[in-house]
Amino acid sequence: MRNAKRLLRSLSGEAIWPPPVWLMRQAGRYLPEYREVRAKAGDFITLCTNPALAAEVTLQPLRRYGFDAAILFSDILMIPWAMGQPLRFAEGEGPLLEPVTDAAAIAALDPGVVAARAAPIMETVARLRAAMDRDFPETALIGFAGSPFTVACYMVNGRGGGDFPAARLMAHRDPALFAKLIAVLEEATVVYLQAQVAAGAEVLMLFDSWAGLLPPDGFEAWVVAPTQRIVARMKALCPDVPVIGFPRLTGAAMPGYAVRTGIQGVGMDTTMDPTWAARAVAPEIAIQGNLDPLALVAGGRALGDGARRILAAVKGRPAIFNLGHGIVPQTPPEHVAELMAVIRSEG
Ligand code: CP3
């Protein structure tokens, strides 16, 4: 039976026109209705672990724009949170974690508790699936996790905002210890993603925002190999659920990552030439991206020309329209409607 959902068709290797579209961080602070719910929830983790509110903010952008996908409202740092690492999101500072820096701290991390502690997130997925089957039957539900390396960057450094020197140094100085951390994250990620699929996620995405910080051997050891193992295990558990990888800022190494990890879709970051990627990535793998989030803030010509260049580049091969990174809070909501009009007028 042919699947009617446009996103799933692209991920099964079909070149559909115009391509399906969704936007990273499509639920978030640029939407007044999100800010309202966020204020009611209090802090961000409370919002992520309140199934009614998390489902509500996931659906908000679908009501406005009719995207081809919804992405579960949660965060990549909910895995370390679920394993008991103290985490908070400070206003204006982003995530703050108590850094995991030695063997004892890594040995204390237990992937076995993730399923139980993440139960509210799975309840969000189940509610979303029920609401979407009713109100958005052609929209696919994406579940996600951070890739082990990117999550490890935050866990070891304790915060974002830099280039994670403590995590990268641990990988060089004590690769056996860093490998233990990556192995714990692999295990936790498989459990967490499988639970999302069981609750109703139809596509999975692995965010590797900081993959581009690594030298080639590190990229192989800490990004490609763990992703390969996670994807292989997910294929064994749920063979019909496609996986999108997003190895951000990895340039010419991206097409090799896409083929070797066994994923069905690959994200192009903002810096990537989509004309190059359209040829360099294996033709059965959907390429996703990559409008500059700031072109969306600017609107007008920057938005129109930028979007049309990407559409022209990906025409005739499986693709998914998206941004090259997440929507930024200062994005005018009407510019997202403008973008949707540009994409749909190409159809
Ligand atoms: O709509 C969606 O895309 C789904 C939800 C989602 C969030 N974070 C919500 C969020 C997803 C998929 C993520 C992924 C995520 N989280 C990544 C990978 C993608 C990327 O952006 O590179 C990373 C690195 C994180 C970690 C993280 N979470 C940071 C660095 C921050 C602070 C920066 C910021 O924008 O405030 C967060 C917070 C966060 N995650 C917010 C949202 C909506 C803002 C929280 C708020 O409302 O205050």
Answer yes or no: is 323 within a domain: no
pLDDT at 347 over 60: yes
| DSSP count for the chain of H helices, then E strands | 18, 9
What was the pLDDT predicted at 341? Answer: 98
E strand segments, 258-324: 265-267, 286-291, 319-323
Q: Model confidence at 91, in pLDDT bands (50, 70, 90)?
A: confident
pLDDT at 232 over 60: yes
- The DSSP symbol for 220 reads I
pLDDT at 1 over 90: no
pLDDT digits over 130-144, tens only? 999 999 999 999 999
In a domain, 105, yes or no: yes
The whole-number average pLDDT for the span 229-239 is: 98
Report the distance separating Cα 256 and Cα 253, nearest Å: 6
User: Does residue 272 sit within a domain?
Assistant: yes
The one-character DSSP state at 299 is -
- Domain-located, residue 131: yes
Q: Within its chain, how far is the Cα of 48 from the centroid?
A: 15
Helix axes of 175-199 and 225-237: crossing angle, nearest 10 degrees: 30
Across 73-94, average pLDDT:
95
Q: Give the model's pLDDT for residue 338.
A: 98
Q: Which two tokens stand for residue 267?
A: 């994200």
> What number is the average pLDDT over the span 99-119?
97
Q: What is the mean pLDDT of residues 60-85?
A: 98
Catalytic residue list contains 63: no
In this predicted complex, what is the ipTM?
0.94
346 within domain boundaries: no
Kindly tell me if the per-residue pLDDT of 209 is higher than 80: yes
Ligand 1 centre from 93 Cα, in Å?
Answer: 12
Find out whether the peptide bond into 322 is cis, omega within 30 degrees of 0.
no
Domain count, the chain: 1
β-pair type (87-90, 94-97)? antiparallel
* Atom in ligand 1 nearest the alpha carbon of residue 74: 5
Q: Is 229 in the active site? A: no
DSSP 100: -
Answer whether 202 contacts ligand 1 (Cβ < 6 A).
Answer: no
Ligand 1 pocket test, pick from 25, 72, 189 with the greatest ligand atom count within 8 Å of Cβ, gives 25
In CATH, what number is assigned to the domain containing residue 129? 3.20.20.210
pLDDT given for residue 4 in this prediction: 86
* Packing angle, helices 254-261 and 225-237, rounded to 10: 30
Whether 326 lines ligand 1, by a CB cut-off of 6 Å, is yes
Mean pLDDT of the chain: 97
Residue with CA closest to ligand 1 atom 40: 75
- Euclidean distance between CA atoms 5 and 240, whole angstroms: 14
Give the per-residue pLDDT at 3.
66
Non-local (6+) Cβ contacts of 20 within 8 A are 6, 7, 9, 10, 68, 69, 320, 321
What single letter denotes the amino acid at residue 35? R
The DSSP element (H or E) to which 206 belongs, if any, is: strand 203-208
pLDDT band at 2 (very low <50, low <70, confident <90, very high): low
Does 75 participate in catalysis according to the annotation? yes
Is 2 one of the annotated active-site residues of the chain? Answer: no
The residue contributing the CA closest to ligand 1 atom 43 is: 28
Span 291-304, average pLDDT:
98
Res 293 pLDDT > 80: yes
Residue 314 lies in a domain: no
Residue 256 covered by a domain: yes
**Does 334 map to a domain?**
no
Domain range holding 178? 19-283
Tokens in use for 176?
């056996």
pLDDT exceeds cutoff 80 at 241: yes
> The tokens of 142 are what?
């994406």
In this prediction, residue 89 carries a pLDDT of 95
CA–CA dist 11, 8 (Å, integer): 5
Task: Determine contact, residues 232/247, Cβ cutoff 8 Å.
Answer: no
Who contacts 109 (Cβ-Cβ below 8 Å, separation ≥6)?
Answer: 83, 84, 85, 100, 181, 184
Mind listing the pLDDT tens digit for each residue in 157-166? 999 999 999 9
Asked if 168 is an active-site residue, the reply is: no
Q: Is 144 in the pocket of ligand 1 (CB under 6 A)?
A: yes
Name every residue whose Cβ is closer than 8 Å to that of residue 161 and which is 6 or more positions away in sequence.
93, 94
Residue 335 has pLDDT above 70, yes or no: yes
